[in-house]
A and B are shown apart, each in its own frame.
Chain A
């Protein structure tokens, strides 16, 4: 389609060139075309050339219609060229001789060139007017313009008949007058002026004055019975007619432009603002699809808000379950904005439905510490799917408060912003969730591999071990080491912190215990060594609590050391006893303090005694009221169920624990190890 159109025009262009050359040669050969026949041919040639020129220029110019000022300036430059050519020609020929032009070869060549330039310029100006005429028109106004073009053409052609019968010049005059009337009618279509910026309008005002004068002077030069008129007239009376019509058109058109621009000037600023609003709204819709970073988006929104409504500051808050969060500030301090929005939102104003304006007299009573003094603040709810997810604040210092137009545009903007923010939030959440889940998977995997897969089977010592990982993997670890001389070593440890970092430390702790348990017999020395090794890998704020113990399952002798861990519980026929030898957590101190604090305890177990090791996940388990499960409940269950199978005791504890914290999620790992020494 486009290609064929191009072909068509290039074909037209070739025709134009051919015609121009013919016209040029024709004029060189027949300097006088006084005979009717020659004249007729010449006029038709000129007319066709002009018509084709118009077609070509129209195609060329229709691609540049988005810059009306450029079009105006182009036509202005051409008008100036026409005017200067006319003046120069006038003075050259005038000085030559009074009215008698000697048509030698050089002169006729010069005059033809001049005429060609004039014609091209005129047609160009006319085409420019056409483009301006069509600019920003909603309905198709081509009929009006074409009618005018037809009448201008008729005025041109009417000159042909004058040659045969000069008395019918009223026909030409009639066409001429009708053309002028149509020109006037068409000149008032200047809708494009409204869309110029204020600066452009001021510029246009100046240009239109200059161009009115230039066109006026050109018109008078052509109409004056001087040498120029003679020159053009002798070339072709039609060209002369067109010349005068187009200069009249230019004159009228620029007068109209001048007054229209003048009347548009007071509203130019409002129009500029509106245009800015529209483009800002377009920008934000673009942003919705481009910016996924929540903070960046919030900053852009506040910055744009001030642009849209011409305000001094803006800030944006979102509402979540924890309350109001200030996300972004623009040209206001963070503290000020925070205070101000809390103050406004606390005042039981109903902001959720639509935009509201808070006036200064309302604020002044309470905000006197402000460095910023705002006269009015607009609060627009950020609504998504009917719920308000936050508020957009924007404030003005000056006396002019927000009017209805401002309110409307702020709210429209806020609606877009709300959707954009919601999108960014969702994306952020899903990325975060995915990352967290991956991390948790890794941590869980490490933990699963570290804990013993099966329990040692020993005559005279029953062992039950239970481990319930929390959603956010804690750092619980336990292990058993079968030692020579009917002894069993065991460790229970809890790494501070959660997630992948805790899991890594846990893996390291396992390695250390595994290697030391085989070589060092004394429990205290083992923990001192562990602390020494951990010195190099624990960061300052991490620590590990642990109990290391050795049970002699022949004699029932239990020796333990405790490093900050929850105390051991021993239950026997004589009741319950908490065993808490002194000792600070691993990693709290790497000097003498640690070894000095460690206290090794030896206990002689009675037959059927149970020993319970556990992590703080049990006493610190929380219910929905954030109360602790505590030691009392724990100990009561142990006392009541002491005679049962240790697996059953373990299950009983877990049952009570889950009953207690059924409404809240488990926030820490739970480890529970129960030994029963049963010699028989």
Chain B
């Protein structure tokens, strides 16, 4: 149906996942693959950049829930950044801001990781 794209890049010790388009039950496995790859590579600090994401369904939200525990157990985390208002509202409605950290932009999220590393 709709397009979805996912791209992975490294910014210092942090991995940034750019998600683009429509994240739903049909496209969620693509994102899952990326997370699996990160875990295989022992990379647990992840920022998801939502700048170009247009829509997220419950199955899309489920992807983050599925992996966040593993990341946190290994002193990492999944942080969100650059979220559009309509996408943020979906996260907000579900109460994600209580459990996850959201940032205006990617740099702040990365900074947060780096600070945590120092202390």
Q: Interface of A with B (CB < 8 Å)? A: 494, 496-498, 539-543, 545, 563-567, 580, 582-585, 587-589, 593, 597, 626, 628
Task: Decide yes or no: A597 and B55 within 8 Å by CB, A496-B61, A498-B25, A566-B93 being known contacts.
Answer: no
Pair B96/A542 contact, Cβ less than 8 Å: no
Can you list 24 pairs linking A and B with CB atoms under 8 Å apart? A496-B58, A496-B59, A496-B62, A497-B59, A498-B59, A539-B66, A540-B69, A541-B63, A543-B58, A543-B61, A564-B93, A565-B93, A566-B93, A567-B93, A582-B95, A583-B95, A584-B94, A584-B98, A585-B95, A587-B65, A588-B94, A597-B95, A626-B2, A626-B54
A531 nearest CB across to chain B (Å)? 12
Most A CB contacts (10 A, CB to CB) among B55, B61, B93 go to B93
State whether the Cβ of B116 lies closer than 8 Å to any Cβ in chain A.
no
State whether the Cβ of B22 lies closer than 8 Å to any Cβ in chain A.
yes
Complex Cα gap A497–B57 (Å): 9
Pair B94/A540 contact, Cβ less than 8 Å: no
Pair A593/B98 contact, Cβ less than 8 Å: yes
Complex Cα gap A564–B58 (Å): 11
Residue of A nearest to B97 (CB): A584
Contacts of A543 in B (CB 8 A): 58, 61-62, 65, 94
B18 nearest CB across to chain A (Å)? 20
Across the interface, B96 reaches (CB within 8 A) one of A498, A540, A563, A588, namely A588
- Residues facing A in B64-107 (CB within 8 A) are 65-66, 69, 86, 93-96, 98-99
Contacts of A580 in B (CB 8 A): 93
A566 nearest CB across to chain B (Å)? 7
Interface residues on B, range: 20 to 34
Across the interface, A585 reaches (CB within 8 A) one of B59, B66, B94, namely B94
Contacts of B69 in A (CB 8 A): 540
Complex Cα gap A589–B95 (Å): 10
Task: Decide yes or no: A588 and B93 within 8 Å by CB, A497-B25, A543-B58, A593-B99 being known contacts.
Answer: no
Contacts of A496 in B (CB 8 A): 58-59, 61-62
Complex Cα gap A494–B63 (Å): 17
Complex Cα gap A580–B22 (Å): 26
The 6 closest A-B pairs by CB, nearest first: A584-B95, A541-B62, A496-B58, A541-B66, A564-B94, A585-B94
Complex Cα gap A496–B60 (Å): 10
Pair B55/A626 contact, Cβ less than 8 Å: yes
B95 nearest CB across to chain A (Å)? 3
Contacts of A593 in B (CB 8 A): 98-99
A200 nearest CB across to chain B (Å)? 52
Q: Is the interface of B mostly helix, strand, loop or mixed?
A: helix
B35 nearest CB across to chain A (Å)? 11
Residue of A nearest to B64 (CB): A541
Could you list 15 further interchain pairs (A-B, Cβ under 8 angstroms) beyond the known A543-B65, A565-B93? A497-B59, A540-B69, A541-B63, A543-B62, A543-B94, A564-B93, A566-B93, A583-B95, A584-B95, A584-B98, A587-B65, A588-B65, A589-B98, A593-B98, A626-B22
- Residues facing A in B1-44 (CB within 8 A) are 2, 22, 25
Pair B95/A564 contact, Cβ less than 8 Å: yes
A575 nearest CB across to chain B (Å)? 22
Pair A497/B58 contact, Cβ less than 8 Å: yes
Contacts of B61 in A (CB 8 A): 496, 543
Residue of A nearest to B91 (CB): A564
Residue of A nearest to B94 (CB): A564
Pair A542/B98 contact, Cβ less than 8 Å: no
Contacts of A589 in B (CB 8 A): 98-99
Pair A584/B96 contact, Cβ less than 8 Å: yes
Complex Cα gap A567–B66 (Å): 25
Pair B66/A540 contact, Cβ less than 8 Å: yes
Most A CB contacts (10 A, CB to CB) among B2, B54, B62 go to B62
Contacts of B54 in A (CB 8 A): 626
Residue of B nearest to A664 (CB): B1
B44 nearest CB across to chain A (Å)? 16
Contacts of B22 in A (CB 8 A): 626
B115 nearest CB across to chain A (Å)? 23
Residue of A nearest to B32 (CB): A541
Residue of A nearest to B59 (CB): A497
Complex Cα gap A579–B62 (Å): 25
Contacts of A584 in B (CB 8 A): 94-96, 98-99
Contacts of B94 in A (CB 8 A): 543, 545, 564, 584-585, 588
Across the interface, B65 reaches (CB within 8 A) one of A540, A566, A582, namely A540
Complex Cα gap A181–B118 (Å): 105
Contacts of B98 in A (CB 8 A): 584, 589, 593, 597
B15 nearest CB across to chain A (Å)? 20
Complex Cα gap A543–B63 (Å): 11
Contacts of B65 in A (CB 8 A): 540-541, 543, 587-588
Contacts of B2 in A (CB 8 A): 626
Across the interface, B99 reaches (CB within 8 A) one of A565, A588, A628, namely A588
A283 nearest CB across to chain B (Å)? 35
Complex Cα gap A148–B66 (Å): 89
A603 nearest CB across to chain B (Å)? 19
Residue of B nearest to A626 (CB): B2
A389 nearest CB across to chain B (Å)? 21
B71 nearest CB across to chain A (Å)? 12
B66 nearest CB across to chain A (Å)? 4
Most B CB contacts (10 A, CB to CB) among A496, A565, A580, A628 go to A496
Contacts of B96 in A (CB 8 A): 584, 588
Contacts of A563 in B (CB 8 A): 95
Complex Cα gap A588–B63 (Å): 12
B33 nearest CB across to chain A (Å)? 14
Contacts of A583 in B (CB 8 A): 95
A502 nearest CB across to chain B (Å)? 9
Contacts of A585 in B (CB 8 A): 94-95
Contacts of A626 in B (CB 8 A): 2, 22, 54-55
Across the interface, A497 reaches (CB within 8 A) one of B62, B93, B99, namely B62
